[in-house]
Amino acid sequence: MNLERIKFPSKKKYTIKEVDILARTCLFRAGIDYLHGTGHGVGHFLNVHEGPYNQPWKPGMVHTNEPGYYENGNFGIRIENMLVCVQDSQFKDFLAFENITMFPYHKSLIDVKMLDTAEIDHINHYHEKIKQLLIPRVQDDRLALQFLDKESGPIV
C-alpha cells in the first residue's frame, strides 16, 4: 500500500530499486521483511516478470505492487495490485502511482491497530473508489452488490 501512496520528483529519474524500500516500511516497523522483489513491470515485452528495473519511471508505465510476508509452514499474505505511473495531480514536477486494480482488500485480514490514520484513510478511499466504479456495472447482480457492500465498506 505504501508504494501506491508515494510521490517522487520526475527529474531525478528514480527506478523501482529506489522506491522499493517504501513498499517494505510497514513490515520494517514490525521488524520483518520479505525475500522477493516488490513487483515487476507489465506489458512492455509481455513477459511474466519484466522490468522496468533500471529504467527511470515515466507516466504510463505499469508495475505490480506485490509486498508479502510468509512464515514457513504457517501462512503467507500478499497484495497483488497493478499500479500505473502518473503525473502527480498536486505537484507539477512529481510522479505518483495510481492503483488500477479494482478489488477490495479483505477486511478481516487487516489488523487496523497496525495502521496509522493516513493508511486507514487510504484504504477507505480506495474502497469507496471501487464501489463508485463497480456498483453501476453490477446493478443486476445481487451477490456482487452484497459482496461490494460488505468488503468495500470502511475499515473503521
Per-residue pLDDT tens over the stretch 69-121: 888 899 888 888 999 999 999 999 999 999 999 999 989 889 899 889 999 99
Q: Bigger pLDDT: 126 or 28?
A: 126
CATH topology of domain 1-101: Creatine Amidinohydrolase (3.90.230)
Is the separation of the CB atoms in 12 and 91 below 8 Å? Answer: no
Is the separation of the CB atoms in 41 and 30 below 8 Å? Answer: no
pLDDT in tens, 124-133: 999 999 999 9
The pLDDT of residue 34 is 86
For the cut 80, the answer to whether the pLDDT of residue 1 exceeds it is no
Q: What is the mean pLDDT of the chain?
A: 88
Alpha-carbon distance of 10 to 96, in angstroms, equals 9
For the cut 70, the answer to whether the pLDDT of residue 48 exceeds it is no
- Which one-letter DSSP state was computed for residue 111? -
Instruction: Output the CA torsion sign for 113, 81, 107, 134.
Output: positive
3-25 mean pLDDT? 86
The pLDDT of residue 114 is 84
Q: What confidence tier does 52 reach under pLDDT thresholds 50, 70, 90?
A: low
Q: Domain residue spans in the chain?
A: 1-101, 102-156
| Helices vs. strands in the chain: H and E counts, helices first | 4, 6
Is the separation of the CB atoms in 95 and 85 below 8 Å? Answer: yes
For the cut 80, the answer to whether the pLDDT of residue 49 exceeds it is no
Alpha-carbon distance of 54 to 98, in angstroms, equals 20
Tell me what percent of the residues of the chain surpass a pLDDT of 90: 49
Q: What confidence tier does 44 reach under pLDDT thresholds 50, 70, 90?
A: low
